[in-house]
Structures are given as C-alpha cells and as structure tokens.
Amino acid sequence: MIFRQLFDAESWTYTYLLADPNTHEAILIDSVQEQAERDAKVLHELGLTLKYLLETHVHADHITGVSKLKGIYPTAQSVVSERAGASCADIKVNDKDHIQVGSIVIQVLATPGHTDGCVSYYTDGKVFTGDALLIRGCGRTDFQQGDAGRLYDSVTRQLFTLPDETLVYPAHNYIGLTCSSIGEEKHHNPRLGEHKNREEFISIMNNLNLPYPKKIMESVPANLECGRIEQVN
Amino acid sequence: MIFRQLFDAESWTYTYLLADPNTHEAILIDSVQEQAERDAKVLHELGLTLKYLLETHVHADHITGVSKLKGIYPTAQSVVSERAGASCADIKVNDKDHIQVGSIVIQVLATPGHTDGCVSYYTDGKVFTGDALLIRGCGRTDFQQGDAGRLYDSVTRQLFTLPDETLVYPAHNYIGLTCSSIGEEKHHNPRLGEHKNREEFISIMNNLNLPYPKKIMESVPANLECGRIEQVN
C-alpha cells in the first residue's frame, strides 16, 4: 500500500493518502480545501486516480477539500457517516461498513461523541481516528452534538479493542507528533488512559472551558455542503 | 522497528525516532533544541533509552537538541560526520560506516554539497537525507562550504543508486509533505530529476538568490558545539 501523511500548517490538520500500487486507485482521508492543489499534484506525480474522499466527520476548524478535489477528479466519490447530516455526500456509511480500493479494504468504525457523525477508518494495522482519539488527547465535546459519555464509550469500546500495536493517525496534532498506537493511548492518554473512568472523563470534558474554534461559523455549514462554500456565502 | 516522525513547526524540521522494540534502545536523528523535552517524553512513554543522537549535518536554521538531550540521557552519544568540524561529537563517522542499536543497522552515506559534512543515514528501506535531498528540492549550496557540483554528485551517485522504492525522509519540508521515495525524486525533483544534468543543476543553484537563514549566526556556532549554546554566547 502507498501511504502518505500530509499536513496543513494553518489548521494543524493531517490528511492521509492511501493507494493500491497495482490498481493505482487512491483514497484521501480528511482533505483540506487550501491544500487541494498540493494533494492533486502528489496524486498526479504518483500516477494515482482519486477514487474516494473520506471524511471522519463534519469539521469545525477547516473546510474540506472534497468539492475542489471533485472538480479535479470528477469521478471521485465523497464518503461521510450517515449520521453526519451531510446530504451532499455520495456515499453515507455506518458502523462496520467497508470501503474498498484495489486490495485495500477500509472498515468503518462509528466513534461518535466529538460529533454525532464521527467515524474512524481502520485498515492494515492503522486507524484514522479523526477527532475522536487524538495523540494524548481527544476532540472536544461541547458543540456539534458533542457528548462526553458517548466519546468515552466510542474510544474504550471501539478503538481500545483494536490490537495494541495498531497505529493511531489522528486528524490533528499541535506539538509535532505524527502518530501514536492504541497501546500508547491506553497507557498514556491523560483523559482516556487506563486510570480514568467514564465519570472522570465526563468531568474533565465538561470543564475545559475552551473558546470556540475560530472557523466554526464558516466551516460547519460549508462542510455540510461537502466544501461547496459558494452555496453558503 | 519503532519509527516516529516528529515535527518542529518553528523551523519546519523533521526529527526521527528509531528504536528496537526488543532491546528498547533508540536513536534520534536531527533533534531540535526547543523540542528536547517533548522528545524525551515520547522516549519515556515508549519505554526507550536513548543511545545515539545522529546529526545529518551542522544545521544553519535551528540549534540541535543534542546537548539538552544528553543532559537527560547522559550515556547517549552524539554522531556527526568526521568532515562536519564538530569536535564535540562523541562519534565521528565517514562514508560506509555503520551505527547499530539492537537489530537496527544504520549505514552512513556521505552526501556533501549542502555542507561539506553532510551525511545521509540508510536503514530498512528508509533514507534520512538531511538537507542533501529534500522532497522536490534540495538544500542550498551558497554557504557553509556549499558546492552545487558536489551536491549533484552526492544525490545522483549515492542517493539515486538506492532502490526506487526507498522512502526519503528529509530534514525539512515547508508545504506539509512528510516523505517521498527515491523513484519519485528521480522523476519529479525539479532540480535533480532525470531531465536535469550537472551543469543545469549548478546553474539553478547559483541563481537562487535567497536571503540567509534567520538563525544562521546563532545556529552554526552552537551546532559546532553540539548545541551547548552557553559556550558561544
């Protein structure tokens, strides 16, 4: 499998490229609008055709690259959770669904709690967790149908049941860490690690007192339209 | 092998952690002074002991984390090219030398041209190229004994003779790309790709007209002392 991690320094977002080197079909997970040309250039130089644009959720901190990338790759299909409320999506997925490109089979894991429509994507010893599980952290739960108890259940019952050596690739990191593992997060995640129970986690999450993301007012409506911002301005 | 790519957003530097999961011994390549505590925390949480601190060269854009990390891991040894002029280094290496931790054997490849003492480190299908070969670019050659002709020879005779599928992990990238491959750079590097000859490359490099790196006046003398900045202030 061809695998590339890409970074947007403005929103601190990781985008992931996965491709089958034999069929030359590619997937992008959590693309960023401002990086669409960069991503298309990487795809072009690697000789790949973009087949699917997967979203882990409706982001509040950046606008997805889905619309711009579909302009470049008109046959690419967007994939979002059924519960995300993004009626624009070509394919709406639910827990345990599969997405396949060539020999790469991606399993959908419903991991709500940061938003109602959060999913993680698992393939080949890697799990792409969006904002559900971050490296030594997790997504906040105080907007977009956030629910700390549901997030605790998603992480502990879905993600923490994966093998310890599974590599965790999140949607963001703000201190330059690029990946983690399930085993590491079970031990060292200060909010969700093995010494924190559900009540402690809910208490932590309900007392973060964070300001709203700078771009939430433009990002959420734009992402509910798969990044077609001209429809919401 | 445990492998982690780490990023410093201030200097856009990649640091690499490699470790043997059985012996729990680790190497850091191109650490950054301001990230020493972060890196030590990652090492600690992964249960690793730092054995070697490898430098690809004497950096002009950031101060190495070697001195601070040796303060945390006193038995760790710094490794720099014999030709780098860093008399502080514990181990000075030359082309084709090897550095070993547990079952990980790292081969030294002399790749001068950005500086006289640039080396790349090869192991397990990965090559850490420092500033010799960047993703779709290369280090500049207009200071620190830079020599465009030597850099062309280093890249084409040393790095481009590695298998095409070898992953290229550079010391920097400024647009969010985290790795490349030798095959990609042979085809798509606009300065060094297959359609550029030695004379064209020298002409490109001699006409970049870039300003000096912001931190060169503090970084080079500090790095010649392995990051012990108190000796140079």
> How confident is residue B214, by pLDDT bands cut at 50, 70 and 90?
confident
DSSP E strands, B65-103: 77-81, 91-93, 98-101
- Average pLDDT in the B121-138 region? 98
Partners of A8 on chain B (C-beta within 8 Å) are 176
Extract the tokens encoding B198.
């030695």
Q: What is the pLDDT of residue A215?
A: 87
Among the partner residues A5, A9, A42, nearest to B9 by beta-carbon distance = A9
The residue of A178, A184, A185 whose CB has the most chain B CBs within 10 angstroms, and thus the best one to mutate to test that interface, is A178
Q: Of B33, B62, B177, B179, which to mutate for an interface test with A (greatest number of A Cβ within 10 Å)?
A: B177
Nearest chain A residue to B174 by CA distance is A9
CATH of B2-210, one of 2.40.128.720, 3.40.1160.10, 3.60.15.10, 3.30.365.10: 3.60.15.10
- Domain ranges for chain A, please list them: 2-209
Residue in A4, A6, A176 closest to B6 by CB: A176
State phi, psi for A128 to the nearest 5 degrees. -100, 110
Which of A30, A177, A184, A185 to substitute to test the interface with B, most B CBs within 10 Å?
Answer: A177
pLDDT per residue as tens digits for the range B7-57: 999 999 999 999 999 999 999 999 999 999 999 999 999 999 999 999 999
Look up the CATH number of domain A2-209: 3.60.15.10
| Facing A176 at nearest CB: one of B7, B177, B187 | B7
User: For residue B13, which amino acid is it?
Assistant: T
CB–CB of B54/B64 below 8 Å?
Answer: no
Q: Do residues A222 and A63 lie in contact, with contact meaning Cβ atoms separated by under 8 Å? A: yes
pLDDT at residue B233 greater than cutoff 50: no
- Residues of chain A below pLDDT 50: 231-233
Question: Per-residue pLDDT averaged across B74-84, rounded?
Answer: 96
pLDDT given for residue B18 in this prediction: 98
Instruction: Give the pLDDT of residue A232.
Output: 43
Stretch among A52-56, B132-136, B229-233 having the lowest mean pLDDT: B229-233
Residue B213 banded pLDDT, cuts 50, 70, 90: confident
Name the residue of chain A whose CA is nearest to B180's CA.
A4
- Give the list of residues 6+ apart from residue B116 with CB closer than 8 angstroms, or none: B83, B84, B85, B144, B145, B147
Q: Do B4 and A45 touch (CB under 8 A)?
A: no
ipTM of the complex model: 0.93
Q: For residue B114, is pLDDT > 90?
A: yes
Which residue in A6, A46, A178 is closest to B4 by CB distance? A178
Please tell me the predicted confidence (pLDDT) of residue A213.
Answer: 87
Q: Which pLDDT score is estimated for A231? A: 42
Residue B186: C-alpha distances to residues A38, B157, B192 (Å): 19, 12, 7
**Hey, CA dihedral for A71, A77, A80, A82, is it positive or negative?**
positive
Of B195 and B43, the structure prediction assigns the larger pLDDT to: B43
> Is A4 in contact with B179 (Cβ distance < 8 A)?
yes
| A215: closest CA of chain B, how far (Å) | 20
pLDDT above 70 coverage of chain B, percent? 98
